[in-house]
Amino acid sequence: MVGRERLTIGRTPTGYWVVQEGAVDLAGALTRKAAEAERDLRERLRARARASARALRRPTHERAARAPGVSAPASAAPRVGRSRAGARLDPLRDELDDG
């Protein structure tokens, strides 16, 4: 992965504050404080996107093991058939059987 440049804050000749990545203006604001808030937001979103991308590159069984509240392994097959009461457990299969 290519490293990204740090987001910087600059000021245009007209007095407008901009958030920049290198020579590219990403966002603008009327005050420096607003531009700093925009930069912080974009940095948090970048960090979240990187974390999400890392999680998606992990094998499925590792994602399931780390997911909160997941008790069954990700490799467990979905339950298909009938419950103890005799009701169908796979609605898609019901549609196919009825048709």
Summarised one tens digit per residue, pLDDT across range 45-88 is 999 998 888 888 877 666 555 656 655 555 555 555 555 655 55
The dihedral through the CA atoms of 56, 61, 65, 67 has a sign that is positive
Indicate the residue type of 54: R
Q: What pLDDT shows up at residue 71?
A: 58
3-class DSSP state of 10: strand
SS3 (DSSP) at 9? strand
Residue 50 CA to residue 4 CA, distance in Å, equals 12
Q: With H, G, I as helix, E, B as strand and everything else as coil, classify residue 28.
A: strand
Residue 60, Cα to own-chain centre: how many angstroms? 16
